Chains A and B, each alone.
Chain A
Amino acid sequence: NAGVTQTPKFQVLKTGQSMTLQCAQDMNHNSMYWYRQDPGMGLRLIYYSASEGTTDKGEVPNGYNVSRLNKREFSLRLESAAPSQTSVYFCASSERSGAGATNEKLFFGSGTQLSVL
């Protein structure tokens, strides 16, 4: 039982390049989330998926797109990377679906450290 798995662990991009961060969970959870973590700012929600087939914007969605490929997988895409997107990205999941899905324990992956030069 691996929990939440993120790939890659590290990535360096040049400004304007694109890439996709992958996330998969094996806990049969309904909701999945993408957060970014910056020094002194805690974790901020980028996008979430409160059930298979749905996605919604979080606090900081600009410059990102997401795909809920199936119940297990939730990917985050940067179409044209910018230095402001240098951050550590965390995927998380929770069992509940729909509104209020974050009103319970979140399970986090180990993160992707992304640098955009």
Chain B
Amino acid sequence: GENVEQHPSTLSVQEGDSAVIKCTYSDSASNYFPWYKQELGKGPQLIIDIRSNVGEKKDQRIAVTLNKTAKHFSLHITETQPEDSAVYFCAASHYNNNDMRFGAGTRLTVKP
């Protein structure tokens, strides 16, 4: 089955700096790659996603890039703010099954 690895496990940045979180996946048939943000005491919430027919997607300060050949995708957050502090999860899903696999998570801390 699919295996998703996520790095780093913790990331600390100064407010205003950029943050990058990277994930790799093993199943070349995976075609949907979402990113979830989990704040303390809450469930994960989708912040951005990308499908395999697209190489990059942006939404204001957040962007995701996908390299299908290398089987890796990354989350980029620019101009970080304290409210960006949370745990971020990447995931990979195949169009023909229901077993979305998640990475282990990255705890991002943005220092004011």
The residues of A with any CB-CB pair to B shorter than 8 Å are: 4, 31, 33, 40-45, 48, 50, 56, 58-59, 90, 92, 99-106, 108-111
Contact in complex: A99, B97 (CB < 8 Å): yes
| Chain B residues with CB under 8 A of A106 | 34, 36, 44, 46, 100
Q: Which residue of A lies closest to B32 (CB)?
A: A103
B79 beta carbon closer than 8 Å to chain A: no
With A102-B93, A110-B43 in contact, is A40–B102 under 8 Å at CB? no
| Chain B residues with CB under 8 A of A4 | 43
Selected contact of A100 from candidates B1, B42, B45, B98, CB within 8 Å: B98
Q: Whole-angstrom distance from the CB of A56 to the nearest CB of chain B?
A: 7
Selected contact of B98 from candidates A42, A56, A109, CB within 8 Å: A56
Bound Cα distance from A72 to B100, whole angstroms: 21
Q: Which residue of A lies closest to B51 (CB)?
A: A103
Q: Which residue of A lies closest to B4 (CB)?
A: A42
Selected contact of B43 from candidates A48, A90, A100, A102, CB within 8 Å: A90
Bound Cα distance from A92 to B93, whole angstroms: 15
| Chain B residues with CB under 8 A of A42 | 4, 6, 89, 102-105
B27 beta carbon closer than 8 Å to chain A: no
Contact in complex: A103, B93 (CB < 8 Å): yes
Q: Whole-angstrom distance from the CB of B86 to the nearest CB of chain A?
A: 14
Bound Cα distance from A43 to B49, whole angstroms: 17
With A104-B32, A108-B45 in contact, is A99–B96 under 8 Å at CB? yes
**Residues of chain B from 11 to 38 with CB closer than 8 A to chain A in the complex:** 31-32, 34, 36
Contact in complex: B97, A108 (CB < 8 Å): no
Bound Cα distance from A33 to B89, whole angstroms: 17
